Amino acid sequence: MTIQLKAKQVSMRFKDRVLFHVPDLTIGPNAAIYLKGDNGVGKTTLLKILAGLLKPTSGEIDPSSPRFMSCLFGGAGRKDVIYLHQSPYLFDGTVYQNVVYGIKHKRLDAQDKRAEVISALRSVGLETLADEHVSVLSGGEKQRVAMARAWVLKPSILLMDEPSASLDHESIERLVYMAQDLLTHGSSIVITSHQTNALTKLCRKQWWIKDCTLIESPLLQIIDKKQTDQESDYAASNSD
Ligand SMILES: Nc1ncnc2c1ncn2[C@@H]1O[C@H](COP(=O)(O)OP(=O)(O)OP(=O)(O)O)[C@@H](O)[C@H]1O
Ligand SMILES: [Mg+2]
């Protein structure tokens, strides 16, 4: 399912400090957005507001229906919108149990559920660790379990908060595969990251939190402009 999320006049304030004011914002359908900004500008806060996990000081998010995966992703969430934590929280249990939890109530027989979970674990390269307790996993492996858990739910919107921070090149490529798969099926993704990489390269739009507001720009044009500039430089150097 693909949905659109709209935010209007959303402000966040902590005591007297205004973190940001965003007049207008839309995600989807089928958008890939790179959210950037310095430490502490409010990227995580904005994603949690969009997921319905945090209430803004003022403003509205539409659709507003609170529900969904409340235990899994902490607090009341917005239906079909999943927030992937900057520091993923996993349950006391095995890798398999953590991933299957999200589809526990899905109308599938046990065999199909197992197949989905194993397919997700294979995509993040962790199928051989399915029966291990999560406490033995490395930070990067935990991040990949969290991604597998989000992916099996096939969310309409996946909000990924610094998903690649503790990942090596190969693990980032695995996340790219999963994010691309969601995009192919009509979902939207928002990715925060302090570095550009293969994951942020999927994005076609940029949100930049700066000076307490959000500036939106199409990423394609930025890339195209760079290419155009390079092409003009090349043409100029060859016309001499
Ligand atoms: N519950 C809270 N009470 C007071 N201040 C808070 C609260 N939650 C967040 N803040 C402050 O809001 C600011 C934005 O935090 P946030 O985690 O959204 O930043 P960020 O852009 O995600 O930063 P980073 O790049 O380091 O992840 C920070 O200065 C933080 O201390
Ligand atoms: Mg953050």
Domain segments of the chain as ranges:
5-214
Whose atoms come closest to the Cα of 207: which ligand? Answer: 1
Q: Which long-range contacts (CB under 8 A, 24 or more apart) does 216-223 make?
A: 216/25, 219/34
Instruction: Tell me how far the alpha carbon of residue 131 lies from the centroid of ligand 2, in angstroms.
Output: 31
Q: Is the peptide bond before 63 cis (omega within 30 degrees of 0)?
A: yes
Q: Whose CA is closest to atom 10 on ligand 1? A: 14
d(CA 112, CA 66): 29
**CB distance 191 to 163 below 8 Å:** yes
Ligand 1 atom closest to the Cα of residue 46 is 18
Which ligand does the CA of 50 lie closest to? 1
What is the pLDDT at residue 75? 42
What is the reported pLDDT for 94? 98
pLDDT band at 72 (very low <50, low <70, confident <90, very high): very low
> Which tens digits make up the pLDDT trace of 116-162?
999 999 999 999 999 999 999 999 999 999 999 999 999 999 999 99
Kindly list the protein residues whose Cβ atom lies closer than 6 A to any atom of ligand 1: 14, 19, 37, 39-45
> Is the C-alpha dihedral spanning 69, 132, 163, 187 positive or negative?
negative
Counting from 1 in the atom list of ligand 1, the atom nearest the Cα of 12 is: 12
Give the whole-number percent of the chain exceeding pLDDT 70.
84
- Predicted confidence at residue 220, as pLDDT, reads 67
CATH class, domain 5-214, is alpha beta
Phi, psi of 188 (to 5 degrees): -115, 150
Quick one: average pLDDT of 35-54? 96
Question: Strand 58-62 relative to strand 5-14: parallel, antiparallel, unpaired?
Answer: antiparallel
User: For the whole model, what pTM was predicted?
Assistant: 0.87
Q: Report d(CA 191, CA 200) in Å as an integer.
A: 7
Question: What distance in angstroms lies between residue 46's CA and the mean position of ligand 1's atoms?
Answer: 10
Q: Kindly state the average pLDDT of the residues 199-228.
A: 82
- pLDDT reported for residue 108: 85
Atom 3 (ligand 1) nearest CA: 14
Q: Answer yes or no: is pLDDT of 33 > 50.
A: yes
d(CA 47, ligand 1 centre) in Å: 11
Task: Please name the residue whose Cα sits nearest to atom 24 of ligand 1.
Answer: 39
Distance from Cα 6 to the centre of ligand 1, integer Å: 22
